[in-house]
Amino acid sequence: QTQTPAHCKEATRYPVFPSREMSRLDLVASPKHCAKEGLHVKKKQNRRLLYGLSTLFLTLLSAVFLVWRILHPTKPQFQVKDAEVYQLSLPSPRLLNSTVQFTLVSRNPNARVGVYYDQLRAYASYKGQQITTDSVFPPFYQGHEDTNLLSASLSGSGVPVAPSLGYEVGRDQTAGRIAIRLRLDGRVRWKVGTWVSGQYHIEVDCVAIVGVVASGDMSSPLSTSQGSQCSTTV
């Protein structure tokens, strides 16, 4: 409600007649002037309210940012525990058959932040080309500083590849080792106390160096002690 300026109230309370109190004409304000004064008071009240709300919003935003900085989560860490390639052959120059098994060690390094893995799919690639179909892990929760093992068996039958891939496979077999990339792609959420964040995209890239025996069969030279560290992007 718009407040009436004090001098407008006074003018209304004490009408002035020119014949009696000519000296008080300076206290009399016109209705138009009073309306302008009331509008000015209302604008001032609105500015004060807007300033108060803005201050409250900035205070809350600063508090949330400060808490997030203190509890800012560190990316999950992954490491190759073991990897085995049982098949990597080309029945034709443009088609590839593959079978890959692996186990990754996943660790949450955060002491106050948990991690929800809502979606996580795994696949293998070779020379920049995906050589297996996707394998999807069921959703799971990883507590503070917890460690989990993620194992999957990947395979591909008649996967279309570039004609040059056959040459690459033959050359690596002659060299005695093949580099297979194990990739994870999915969504994670952070949990701090009872608060849970929105989803974030996570990508994990691991390199497994698999040895090849003289016969051309695949073996698994990676042991727990020489597991490969993976790069993680969130």
In tens, the pLDDT along 136-152 reads 999 999 999 999 999 99
- The yes-or-no verdict on residue 32 having pLDDT over 70 is no
Name which of 30-34, 125-129, 134-138 the model is least confident about. Answer: 30-34
Of the two residues 108 and 211, the one the predictor is more confident about is 108
pLDDT score, position 101: 92
Rounded distance between C-alpha atoms, residue 157 and residue 92, angstroms? 12
Largest CA distance in the chain: 126
DSSP state of 229: B
**Helices 31-70 and 6-13, axial angle in degrees (round to 10):** 150
pLDDT band at 45 (very low <50, low <70, confident <90, very high): confident
pLDDT score, position 224: 39
Q: Are 147 and 115 in contact (CB under 8 A)?
A: no
Of the two residues 29 and 188, the one the predictor is more confident about is 188
Cβ density class 159-186: b for 16+ within 10 Å, e for less: bebeeebbeebeebbeeeebebbbbbeb
pLDDT score, position 102: 92
Of the two residues 176 and 162, the one the predictor is more confident about is 162
pLDDT score, position 60: 87
pLDDT band at 153 (very low <50, low <70, confident <90, very high): very high
- The yes-or-no verdict on residue 55 having pLDDT over 60 is yes
pTM above 0.95, yes or no: no
Q: Are 171 and 216 in contact (CB under 8 A)?
A: no
Of the two residues 79 and 214, the one the predictor is more confident about is 79
pLDDT score, position 155: 95
- The yes-or-no verdict on residue 39 having pLDDT over 80 is no
